[in-house]
Amino acid sequence: MNTNAINSFLRQHDLRIAQNPCVSPDFCLDWAALSARLVAGGAIKEWPKSHFATAAGEWTLLEDEGTGDCAWRLTTQAANGAGGVLTGGVRVGGGTMVFPATWENLLRLKNLVQEHDAGATIFPTSGAQLGRSTLGIGARFTTLHWPAVDWAMSALDLGVTANQNSIPRELVYDVNAMLEGRLDSVPFPFIGTNVPEGHQGQSVEGMSHGCVLAKLKSGFHQRRIAWSFNADHQPIGGKFDAREDDLVRGCLLASYITFDLSPELALNRPAVIADVPAAIVQQTRARVAQAGLALDDAAFGRLLGTVWPAMLKMKQRDDKYATARAAAFTTDIGRTYLRELSIDELPGLTTPETTAVMLALCEVLEMPVNFVAPAFGFQKNMPYPDNAALRTLIARQWAVCEKFGVSIGFHSGSGKSAENYRVMGEVTGSRLEIKTSGRYTYEMGVAIAQSRTAADQALWRDWYRFTLEMALAGAFSNDATEQKMARTFIVDPLVKCGSPLAHDDALLFGSPEATRAALEALPASPEHMFFFEYNFLYVLAAGGRPAKSSLGDHSPAGYQQRARFYAISPETQLLYAKGVARYIVFLAEATGLVPEETCASAKARLDGYATFAALVDEISEAPVAATR
């Protein structure tokens, strides 16, 4: 893709990578300036742990820390300096060349790496156990959680879905569409408005690029732990038909695709059974019966007809993903990707019969999935209230999934209880995926609130105030859904703080002034439900304003707001990394993915860090116990 426009926009407004990473697909916005410095021998950061080899020679990542612009240095014995290996190369002496860290060069480098070493873990893959058991680690606002994720993977010797976001809902699917004002919007009923797509601000390619570079900088790739990148909730059908080629292109580096059928199913245009090829009907019927589910002809026909149009479009999208990878990548490991079928956003709880028919169709249409995400009635950041009922719900789904060799994906997985996670792990034999995202924005709130650094405390006060004002405005909205949700978010912390107003709606919501007084009487805390629910909207809110018109702002004002988070102190970075890593260790232990003793060792090691630099420095190190 052409990145000239986005790179020019970012330079023009002084939105450099060092303070605003992953917006452009490129990690070098000004190659002319950086290459001149490299030729002249100017001071440039060399990341010594980034070293790796390909057939072309030895590679090292370089960075201008002032701007964040990066370059690849290639040292080779080839007489011509291997100048044609990547594009834009400049010779800096002898057999040494430097190349800009562009998106195009990253894709070329992936082929070079994987042709040379099929077991390399620089890039996301579908290897090891990632298609059977994983934790989905997303974040709804920045990339600042990555060091903690990489530390946890290293300490636990566990590969996870280390990069995960919904596209185009959270990530910008096309930076040129963004610049030209062509992004669509996404309904957020709980705030009574639509927010522009890509409300995190960064592009899907930029996020893909940055995740690879982050692991090289810390030397994580030296641990040779396979990790994946999930392009989550890829919308199938409906209004997304017109954009599917762009979505495929943007998600090229993802090694794991979640297919979300809800846009097509929401159209409510079922096929009649006569429209489905007879051979497919027969094969699907036989496979469902083989899985042990009994459906009469009428029920089977209705269910198959309901999902058939969406499944056809999923097949079309899947074929496009496979074709794009075959064209771009030269190795099997580089082309292979995992699949997940998401049916959790449809109304009601998913029946085993629905799961069986859809998994059977995936097999018959030759796109078998690794994970399926049924709806269990989970609410974000809330434990499931009845563990016995949860065990029964999961067991009914697992009886089907086990027959198909498919693991269960638990979406809205943040904030469940330890017992909830144990039930998930026990019923499935740890053949599961748990998607967590909002938790890590909350953990940033916890870290900033605890910081002793003045600038971080100022950010915390502004951030908390933003969520309070969003809740207050919502509580008196004319939109019934927005009002109901905002009042729920307000009552919850009042109940937990023992306020008598929590049980008297007439007094609490008698006037905006009364509600404000009750909210302002609460101690500022990231534990309040209204902070958790609204916090992610702050990152791209122009000027930090709680006005709905300010949300998801892709102008310079929105990105200047985002830069505030990338300016947090090392103290807060350490607090944040510890919080994120502890939660990942907790998930791994509770679900049975990692033995208890390994998790205990990791937690003890985590507690011992006094500086953020010390934590990052040990990402490349195997745990002592694992080397004995």
**Distance (Å, whole) CA 212 – CA 115:** 17
Please give, one letter per residue, the 3-state secondary structure of 35-55. Answer: HHHHHHCCCCEEEEEEEEEEC
**Alpha carbon separation from 447 to 25, 342, 531 (Å, rounded):** 29, 33, 14
Write phi, then psi, for 58 (nearest 5 degrees): -105, 135
- Tens of pLDDT, residue by residue over 99-142, are 999 999 999 999 999 999 999 999 999 999 999 999 999 988 89
Task: Check residue 223 and give its pLDDT.
Answer: 98
Rounded Cα distance between 562 and 547, Å, is 16
Res 77: pLDDT: 77
Q: How confident is the model at residue 81 (pLDDT cuts 50, 70, 90)?
A: low
Query: Do you find a cis peptide bond into 385, omega within 30 degrees of 0?
Result: no
pLDDT of residue 627: 41
CA distance 66 to 233: 35
Place of tokens 């009922």: 389
Residue pLDDT, tens place only, 302-344 = 999 999 999 999 999 999 999 999 999 999 999 999 999 998 8
Return the closest-CA partner of residue 105 out of 128, 72, 136, 76.
72
pLDDT over threshold 80, residue 82: no
Instruction: State phi, psi for 561 to the nearest 5 degrees.
Output: -65, -45
Is the pLDDT reported for residue 393 higher than 90?
yes
In the numeric block, which tokens belong to residue 492? 């919850």
Q: Tell me: the pLDDT tens digits for 3-29?
A: 999 999 999 999 999 999 999 999 999
pLDDT interval class at 628 (50, 70, 90): very low
- Give the pLDDT of residue 176: 97
Residue 365 has pLDDT above 70, yes or no: yes
The mean pLDDT of the chain is 96
Local confidence band at 84 (pLDDT 50, 70, 90 cut-offs): confident
Cis peptide before 100 (omega within 30 of 0): no
Residue 156 has pLDDT above 90, yes or no: yes
Residue type, 347: P
pLDDT confidence of residue 343: 86
Q: Which residues on adjacent β-strands are paired with residue 257?
A: 231, 339
Alpha-carbon separation of residue 202 from 23, 197, 198, 535 (angstroms): 4, 11, 7, 17
pLDDT band at 454 (very low <50, low <70, confident <90, very high): very high
pLDDT-derived band of residue 80, with 50, 70 and 90 as boundaries?
low
Q: Tens of pLDDT along 170-192?
A: 999 999 999 999 999 999 999 99
Decide the pairing of beta strands 96-100 and 70-75: antiparallel
